[in-house]
Structure 1
């Protein structure tokens, strides 16, 4: 028990501004891939994003991720990293809508931002979002799913799980960690 406690004290503590299992998995994968020589202790907490439940613009989505990281830092101050993830959508042109997420990673010295890949949503999903539904809710209706946003998400459904939501977000986490991997290049 004492040995386990000492190991936890040596691990870097990462506070994830979500309890969504997809986001927790993505952060764990991103950190362990980027820093293979280090060990981490991850904890998910619930904090507000300060933006609408379904961000509808790129900049609002980024602000939501930043707010989550800042709110996590305010709530749990004894940590090494704080991570905010916010999924968003944005209209493109007349009829198209893209989906993506922003990830913000903070430490006391640095901030990193990464954005996931972007994909375009089907017309039926767009119609439901235009009626006021969130993306996850629209996915569940169209594809007969239940709580898909805490599972494979729209990207998993649309790719046949070639890329699921955790995979998509994990790459964004890795991109947000670049300043922490190469601190001499970032101020």
Structure 2
């Protein structure tokens, strides 16, 4: 079984390998491709996070002629009564050869206020830039992630990626219970881009 991942980030690829090996056994081949999405480097709404995930999943599905295309996208979305007004979450989109789509998400958490302030002021293009400055850890997004630093590595980016992939697989590994047709990824993407 070929699984395509729409990212070259080693954390995302390892998360997909980990979950698919546990669920489907060792007869899988996980291949990854770097994908540039239409949403820019820092998604700032749930809509943008999902669009990025769908684009990543579709690109990897079609590029590798895979059984499943996986898109993992992290970003911020508005949440009232939080310190910054935003939480950060990873969303995983899984698309099959019929373009059936399932979605899952990780735990969400609040970033330091300086990160959001610098994004909105235009000082930085994505959160990782400020997190690298705060932590002095280069490429932190390909390692423990901001969440790893902020939780003292109790929860890492790998953990959040694994959560999102597993959550997106729930309907697929419980087809008898979720006895419905999955939403069509291409149609959903077209509608979401108009919002």
What range is the shorter-chain TM-score in? 0.7 to 0.9
Q: 2:102 is matched with which residue?
A: 112
Q: Distance in 2 between matches of 1:179 and 1:90?
A: 24
Cα contact 1:49–1:68 (8 A) shared by 2: yes
TM-score for the superposition, normalised by structure 1 = 0.86
Q: For 2:5, which of 3, 16, 20 is the aligned residue?
A: 16
SS in 1 for 2:116: helix
Cα contact 2:84–2:110 (8 A) shared by 1: no
Q: How does 1:44-59 map to 2 (within 5 A)?
A: 44-59=32-47
Structure 2 gap segments, 5+ residues each: 182-195
Q: 1:131 is matched with which residue?
A: 121
Which portions of structure 1, spanning 4 or more consecutive aligned residues, are displaced by more than 6 angstroms? none
Q: Identify the range of structure 1 (92-101 vs 19-28) with the bigger mean alpha-carbon deviation.
A: 92-101
Aligned length: 174
Alignment deviations for residues 123-165 of structure 1 (CA, whole Å, 9 cap, x no partner): 2222222233211111101122211111111111101111110
Q: 1:90 is matched with which residue?
A: 77
Q: Distance in 2 between matches of 1:135 and 1:68?
A: 20
SS in 2 for 1:90: strand
TM-score for the superposition, normalised by structure 2 = 0.82
Q: For 1:29, which of 12, 18, 26 is the aligned residue?
A: 18
SS in 2 for 1:177: helix
Once superposed, what is the RMSD of the aligned Cα atoms?
1.7
Q: How does 1:32-181 map to 2 (within 5 A)?
A: 32-35=21-24, 37=25, 39-77=27-65, 79-93=66-80, 95-109=84-98, 110-132=100-122, 133=124, 134-181=126-173
Q: Distance in 1 between matches of 2:106 and 2:14?
A: 15
Cα contact 1:65–1:104 (8 A) shared by 2: yes
Structure 1 gap segments, 5+ residues each: 1-11
SS in 2 for 1:102: strand
Cα contact 1:137–1:147 (8 A) shared by 2: no
Q: 2:180 is matched with which residue?
A: 186
Alignment deviations for residues 81-130 of structure 1 (CA, whole Å, 9 cap, x no partner): 11011111124348332111111111124321101111011122222222
